[in-house]
Each structure stands twice: as structure tokens, then as C-alpha cells.
Amino acid sequence: MKEPELDVEIRRDADVKLFPFTDYFVGFEKVAAVRSLFGAKTAKVLKDLKVEFFSLRFGYMSVSDEDGHILISTHHLKNAELNVVYLDVVHELFHVKQFMEGKNLFQNEFEYVDSPIEVPAYKFTIEEAKRIGMKTEDIIEYLKVEWVTEEQHARLVKTLALS
């Protein structure tokens, strides 16, 4: 497709501002679930990991498929319940591990709730949710996100053996 002729200039080489993960998330190297992901390298992985904050009222967290850093909505960080933010970080750290293993984090041929990337990450996160004392109904509620239909949510709940 031919680029349109425009009378403007758009710089497309903007730098991304990254911060050390451990400046904002302290003590995760002591969490057994996180240590199970990275083993003896846990402290180094978390020390080297970067986070990027973005300012939108929607969105939660994700992992960059460019370099494996975590992207975090400042709105979500400030307003979500502490256990939700904690579980979201654990979930994204699972994706960081997948990225480190060379896995493609965004597989468009699957629905989100059927993704071979998301299902294992949710299984891992659900185990941590249980460990911190969340009730099954609260975990099921935690799995509700705007981009998942009720039918997809029910399928995910069933896949994760929560129903």
C-alpha cells in the first residue's frame, strides 16, 4: 500500500521510559510462586526486569513482546484491590518466563480463554490466589475482564476447574 502524501512530519522513534521492577514491586523475589518460575535466578531476573507505566483508564497489565518488560496501567495500579494487583503481577511474571523461553505471547489463532499462553498463566495465578486465601467465587470474579464474554468466562472457569 502506498503511503499517503501528508504535509506533516511525524517522528516515530520515541523512547520508552522504563523503570526497574524492584523500585515498585518489593519482595516478590521471596514469593514461592515467583521463585518457582525463575529458580536460583529469581533475584537477578527481577532486578533486571523493567516496567513501563501508561496512563489509561482501561487496561491492566501485559508483557512486551519486544523485550519482555511489563506494561502497567497507572489507573489499575492505583485503583484495583491490592490482591488483584498482586495476582496480576504474578500472572505477568509467568508471561515474562514464557517470553524468556522464546514463546510467542500473542497467538491470534486462539481465543483469549483458549490460548496456550493464557491458560497456563491463569492456572499458575489461580494456585497463588488459593494460597493467599481467596475463595473460589472471588477467583471466578477475578477472571472477569471486559474483553471476555460471559460464555468465554464460563469456559475459562471450567477449563481452570473452578466450577
The residues spanned by each domain of the chain are 19-159
Which residues make beta-bridge pairs with 62? 71
* Beta strand ranges found along the chain (DSSP E): 19-20, 50-54, 61-63, 70-73
Is it the case that residue 1 has pLDDT exceeding 90?
A: no
pLDDT of residue 119: 97
Strand 19-20 vs strand 50-54: parallel, antiparallel, or unpaired?
Answer: antiparallel
Put residue 148 in one of left, alpha, beta given phi > 0 → left and psi -120 to 50 → alpha.
beta
pLDDT of residue 56: 75
Percent of the chain with pLDDT over 70: 99
Lowest average pLDDT, out of 53-62, 82-91, 127-136, goes to 53-62
Please give the C-alpha separations between residue 92 and each of 12, 64, 111, 124, in angstroms, as whole numbers: 27, 10, 18, 11
Distance CA(99)–CA(54), nearest Å, equals 21
Percent of the chain with pLDDT over 90: 83
Q: Is the pTM of this model over 0.95?
A: no
Q: Classify 58 as helix, strand or coil.
A: coil
pLDDT of residue 5: 83
